[in-house]
Structure 1
Amino acid sequence: MSVFSSRSSTQIDNYIFKLHSTVTIVILSICIVFVGMKQYFGDPIECLNAGSPQLTQAQMQHFCWMDGAFTSVYKYSGDPECLAEVTGLDNACPGAKSYHPHKGDLEMPQKHSQWVFYILCIQCILFYAPKYLWKRREAGRLQDLIDKLKDRHILQYEGLDRFLLVQDTSDVVLLGDELYSWFFFSELLYLLHIVMEIFFLNAFLDGKFLLLGFQWFQWLNSDNIDPLIRMFPRLTKCSFHKYGTSGSLETYDTICFMPLNIVNEKVFVMLWFWFMALLLATIYHVLIYRTFIISESWYRMERLAAVAPTADTSFLGEISEHPGRWFVMNTIAYNLKPYFFADLLDKLPKDHYVEIFRYDPKVSMKDFLVDGKVPFSSF
Structure 2
Amino acid sequence: MLLKALSEVKVKVEIKPVVDNLVFRLHYRYTYIFFLAATLLTTLYDAIGDQIDCLTDVDSDSFNDVVNSYCFIMGTFTVDRLHGLQVGQQVPHPGVGPPEVQDSITYHTYYQWVPFVLFVQGVMFYVPHWLWKISEGGLFKHIIQDLSIRDYLGENLGKYFKKDERFRALAKYLKRTMNGHRTWAYKFFFCELLNLGVVVATLFFTDWFLGGEFLTYGTKVFAVAGLDPENRTDPMSYVFPRMAKCTFKSFGPSGTIQVRDMMCLIATNIINEKIYLFLWVWLVLLTALTSLWMVYRLLTILLPPFRKQLLKLRVDRSVWDLLEEVLRGASLSDWLLLYSLGKNMERSVFSEFIIFLHHELTLLPVPRDPKEKLKQQLLGDDFIHPEEPKEEERSQYVREYTF
TM range (shorter): 0.7 to 0.9
Residue equivalent to 1:363? none
Contact conserved, 1:173 with 1:329, CA < 8 A, in 2?
no
Structure 2 residue 98 is the aligned partner of structure 1 residue 93: no
Size of the aligned set, in residue pairs, is 342
CA distance in 2 between counterparts of 1:217 and 1:54 reads: 41
How far the C-alpha of 1:11 sits from its partner, in A, is: 2.3
Distance 1:341 1:259, change over 3 A: same
Distance 1:339 1:195, change over 3 A: same
CA distance in 1 between counterparts of 2:240 and 2:116 reads: 17
Structure 1 spans left out of the alignment, 5+ residues: 1-6, 75-81, 355-374
Residue by residue over 1:270-324, the C-alpha shift from the partner in whole angstroms, topping out at 9 and shown as x without a partner, is: 111111111111111102x112222222232233233333336255344265221
Contact conserved, 1:238 with 1:256, CA < 8 A, in 2?
yes
Please give the TM-score of this superposition, normalised by the length of structure 1: 0.81
Counterpart mapping for 1:1-379 below 5 A: 8-38=15-45, 42-51=49-58, 56-74=63-81, 83-100=83-100, 102=101, 104-150=102-148, 151=151, 152-153=159-160, 155-156=162-163, 158=165, 164-170=169-175, 174-222=179-227, 223-287=231-295, 289-309=296-316, 310-311=318-319, 313-319=321-327, 321-351=330-360
The letter for the 1-side match of 2:265 is: F
Contact conserved, 1:50 with 1:254, CA < 8 A, in 2?
no
RMSD between superposed Cα atoms in Å: 2.9
Contact conserved, 1:45 with 1:256, CA < 8 A, in 2?
yes
CA distance in 2 between counterparts of 1:16 and 1:54 reads: 52
Residue by residue over 1:92-138, the C-alpha shift from the partner in whole angstroms, topping out at 9 and shown as x without a partner, is: 101211234x3x23332111111111111011110011111122221
Contact conserved, 2:167 with 2:356, CA < 8 A, in 1?
no
Which structure's relative contact order is higher, taking Cα pairs within 8 Å and 6+ residues apart? 1
Please give the TM-score of this superposition, normalised by the length of structure 2: 0.76
CA distance in 2 between counterparts of 1:301 and 1:54 reads: 74
Larger mean CA deviation between 336-345 and 299-308 belongs to: 299-308
How far the C-alpha of 1:259 sits from its partner, in A, is: 1.3
The letter for the 1-side match of 2:204 is: F
Contact conserved, 2:78 with 2:105, CA < 8 A, in 1?
yes
CA distance in 1 between counterparts of 2:128 and 2:354 reads: 31
CA distance in 2 between counterparts of 1:17 and 1:173 reads: 26
Secondary structure of the residue aligned to 2:319 is coil
CA distance in 1 between counterparts of 2:245 and 2:344 reads: 59
Secondary structure of the residue aligned to 2:25 is helix
CA distance in 1 between counterparts of 2:213 and 2:198 reads: 20
Residue by residue over 1:177-202, the C-alpha shift from the partner in whole angstroms, topping out at 9 and shown as x without a partner, is: 22221111111111122111111111
The letter for the 1-side match of 2:343 is: Y
State percent identity of aligned pairs: 25
How far the C-alpha of 1:65 sits from its partner, in A, is: 0.9
